[in-house]
Amino acid sequence: ATTLGAAAAQSGRYFGTAIASGKLGDSAYTTIANREFDMVTAENEMKIDATEPNRGQFNFSAGDRVYNWAVQNGKRVRGHTLAWHNQQPGWMQSLSGGTLRQAMIDHINGVMNHYRGKIYAWDVVNEAFADGNSGGRRDSNLQRTGNDWIEVAFRTARAADPAAKLCYNDYNIDNWTWAKTQGVYNMVRDFKSRGVPIDCVGLQSHFNSNSPYNSNYRTTIQSFAALGVDVQITELDIQGGSATTYANVVNDCLAVPRCTGITVWGVRDSDSWLGENTSPLLFDRNGNKKAAYTSVLNAL
């Protein structure tokens, strides 16, 4: 195979990228994105602030631009994200208690109803666990509505679109020895044992010197998969752009049948949320394939 998407498809997997609606007029960008990837995540356009800027008033214009570009070019779409402490619109930031809980439910219903039947997997809840050694939940307005907010979000999501896979997505849950990883693992195990609907875990996989790739990544993927959920690598970028590390990530996913796909968080280094100078992606600013690209293609 000569593209990432086709190479991943050889083992029944996908290879995706984050797409920014504001770059869809850049033909250098869309040419690479269309050629190489077969799964799309909207980088910001399906988040809470974008889709419900005023309470009860939904706006899907930017989300639909990304969605339509993807589908018109034969790609599937991951939905990102429905319940998160970040990128909440101002009106939601100021809510609490039962009012916020209901607003979360209404938001999930509003967005999932619009995209009903059209999304491969939704990141239903994003980044709900704390960094550090607690293994517990992150404090947030959503968390303060009660510890059951995550399962309420998943039950709401299942009813809203039974066709979508429902994922829990987070960063710093790739290192098996970290308390945060164990906290999420225990939640997923509990959800599976109690029949709370969850289909997948998203490992964001933003690797840098503070959160480096670790060779226990494969153990993490295997351990989540053994709970009976798919694992998806949802936001991969590697600061410094090590070709070896990129190959390790691919090999670890391919070693686990339930690791169903990999998404990189942007197309060219100059598109990265981390800044071009960190060289985290697979193409340089001129659209040239980097060593990391070749390494990924050969590993797939």
Q: Please tell me whether residue 271 binds ligand XIL under the rule CB under 6 A.
A: no
Cα dihedral 59, 63, 65, 70 sign: negative
Q: Which of residues 98-157 bind ligand XIL (CB under 6 A)?
A: 126
Among 51, 145, 175, 204, binds ligand XIL (CB under 6 A): 204
8 Å CB contact between 146 and 160 = no
Neighbouring residues of 204: CB distance < 8 A, sequence distance ≥ 6: 169, 170, 171, 173, 174, 234, 235, 236, 265
The nearest distance, CB 206 to ligand XIL, in angstroms, is 6
3-state secondary structure of 234: strand
The nearest distance, CB 87 to ligand XIL, in angstroms, is 7
Q: Which is nearer to ligand XIL, 11 or 131 (CB)?
A: 131
8 Å CB contact between 15 and 36 = yes
Catalytic residue among 36, 43, 127, 235: 235
Among 3, 30, 44, 143, binds ligand XIL (CB under 6 A): 44
Among 36, 199, 235, 271, binds ligand XIL (CB under 6 A): 235
Q: Which is nearer to ligand XIL, 235 or 252 (CB)?
A: 235
Q: Which is nearer to ligand XIL, 273 or 294 (CB)?
A: 273
Whether 235 is a known active-site residue: answer yes
Partners of 203 in beta bridges: 170, 233
DSSP track, 62-131: HHHHHHHHHHHTT-EEEEEEEE-SSS--HHHHT--HHHHHHHHHHHHHHHHHHTTTT-SEEEEEES-B-S
8 Å CB contact between 175 and 215 = no
Among 58, 60, 91, 273, binds ligand XIL (CB under 6 A): 273
Cα dihedral 94, 46, 223, 295 sign: negative
The nearest distance, CB 204 to ligand XIL, in angstroms, is 6
Q: How far is CA 274 from the centre of its chain?
A: 16
Q: Which is nearer to ligand XIL, 127 or 297 (CB)?
A: 127
Q: Which is nearer to ligand XIL, 52 or 300 (CB)?
A: 52
3-state secondary structure of 270: helix
What is the total count of residues that contact ligand XIL (CB under 6 A)?
6
8 Å CB contact between 103 and 147 = no
Cα dihedral 41, 193, 127, 210 sign: negative
Among 5, 16, 33, 43, binds ligand XIL (CB under 6 A): 43
The nearest distance, CB 178 to ligand XIL, in angstroms, is 17
Q: Which is nearer to ligand XIL, 72 or 209 (CB)?
A: 209
Nearest residue to ligand XIL on Cβ basis: 273
Enzyme catalytic residues: 235
Chain residues in the site for ligand XIL (CB under 6 A):
43-44, 126, 204, 235, 273
